Structure 1
Amino acid sequence: MESKRGIRKMIKERRALLTEAERENLDSIIFKKVTNSKEYQEAKVIFIFVSYDTELDTHKIIKQALKDGKRVSVPRIISKEEGMDVVEIEGFEDLKPGAYGILEPEDSKLKIDESLIDVSYLPGVAFDRKGGRVGYGGGFYDRFLRKTRKDSLKIALGYSFQVLEEVPMDDNDEFIDGIITD
């Protein structure tokens, strides 16, 4: 089995090869799958990552969820040691470039309790069909997921080429409930 570092390099290179047109087409398919899903339709409070660089576009999903009247929460990085806060946003304009250049709320004044979240839409570099997820190596999302309710769904979002036969999992890694791809 490939190492996490090797998987990260391979998938990031593959994502970088997507043309703008391919990316828009795949993002559109994933947008429809997410917003038409039973989980999304029934959720009152969602958590979703704010896409960055070559990740699939979550900006449209966030804007649609706000339009649909959902309570939308996103990550705000505190530090590698302290992890991240989960902050509710009232509009997409609440997001500004943060420490890593990723859009996030400027402060944590609208921090919400993880136990309120019905569905979490998670990033990652690679996934497998057994619930394995390889993130970016900071452990931010694994620590966050330990604080969510047991019945809160954990759904990864990614392109189909990010789903591998098997990904390496450590004791600190949290499993996901499903994946939505193109």
Structure 2
Amino acid sequence: MKIVKAKKDLRKEAMDIRKSLSKEEITRYNKDILKKVLKDENFIYSNTIFIYVSYKNEVDTHEIIKESLKLNKKVCVPRVISKEEGMKAIYISSLEDLKPSSMGILEPEYDESKIVSIEDIDASFIPGLAFDMHGGRLGYGGGFYDRFLKDIKKGSKKIALAYSNQILDNIPMDETDIRIDYIISNDK
């Protein structure tokens, strides 16, 4: 109960921190993060990447997705099925494959023939409100990524994309929370 309250308070604080960035800072930071992703060893050697589709003021992934497709990587993105069933990874061939969900988040159509087996994913790029350098991740509270990532194959890296002001000293973690492997940010 204590961790739940701490996370709720931390989520509000983290949202406010991210909202404090100017448009100019966001543009510059997104360019810095894109460059670092494209030079990241795990990205370079991955055939199949799982990557969130950025929404509102999250680290922009649209350019990363476009560059990945240009590099002939297999790109899959999340499609929420339901709270109970969680989400699936769906192959896309273009950002044009995405349509706004009921929440306004861009998602692919549900097509069973395009579902990616979690064993095929070489690297996952994960969103969050805040992270720490010990692998802690503060998500949005739905548990979708934690449930999805718990079955990720051994050796497949879980990489957070974050603005430097999203990296905190410590994120409270529950036993069901999945740790990330490392962070790519505008500073780190």
Q: Which category describes the TM-score, using the shorter chain as reference length?
A: over 0.9
1:97-154 Cα offsets, whole Å, 9 max, x none, are 0132100102233111011000000001111111111100000000110121011100
Counterpart of 2:77 in structure 1 is: 74
> Is 1:99 aligned to residue 102 of structure 2?
yes
CA contact (8 A) 1:77 1:99 kept: no
Q: Partners in 1 of 2:171 and 2:58 — Cα distance?
A: 19
In the superposition, the TM-score normalised over structure 2's length comes to: 0.94
> Is 1:143 aligned to residue 144 of structure 2?
no
> Is 1:131 aligned to residue 135 of structure 2?
yes
Letter in 2 for 1:98: S
Q: How far has the Cα of 1:159 moved from its partner? A: 0.6
Letter in 2 for 1:82: E
Q: How far has the Cα of 1:17 moved from its partner? A: 2.0
Give the total of aligned pairs.
182
Q: Partners in 1 of 2:184 and 2:102 — Cα distance?
A: 28
Q: Partners in 2 of 1:160 and 1:17 — Cα distance?
A: 12
Counterparts of 1:11-26 in structure 2 under 5 Å? 11-26=14-29
Counterparts of 1:1-182 in structure 2 under 5 Å? 3-109=6-112, 110-182=114-186
Q: Partners in 2 of 1:134 and 1:20 — Cα distance?
A: 23
Q: How far has the Cα of 1:87 moved from its partner? A: 0.3
Q: How far has the Cα of 1:82 moved from its partner? A: 1.0
Q: Secondary structure of the residue that 1:3 maps to in structure 2?
A: helix
Letter in 2 for 1:145: L
Letter in 2 for 1:166: N
Q: Partners in 2 of 1:108 and 1:135 — Cα distance?
A: 26
Q: Partners in 1 of 2:63 and 2:120 — Cα distance?
A: 23
Q: Partners in 1 of 2:53 and 2:147 — Cα distance?
A: 18
Q: How far has the Cα of 1:169 moved from its partner? A: 0.1
Q: 5+ residue gaps in structure 2?
A: none
Letter in 1 for 2:12: K
1:40-83 Cα offsets, whole Å, 9 max, x none, are 11000000000001101111100110111000000001111110
In the superposition, the TM-score normalised over structure 1's length comes to: 0.97
Identity %: 49
Q: Partners in 1 of 2:28 and 2:106 — Cα distance?
A: 23
Q: Secondary structure of the residue that 1:47 maps to in structure 2?
A: strand
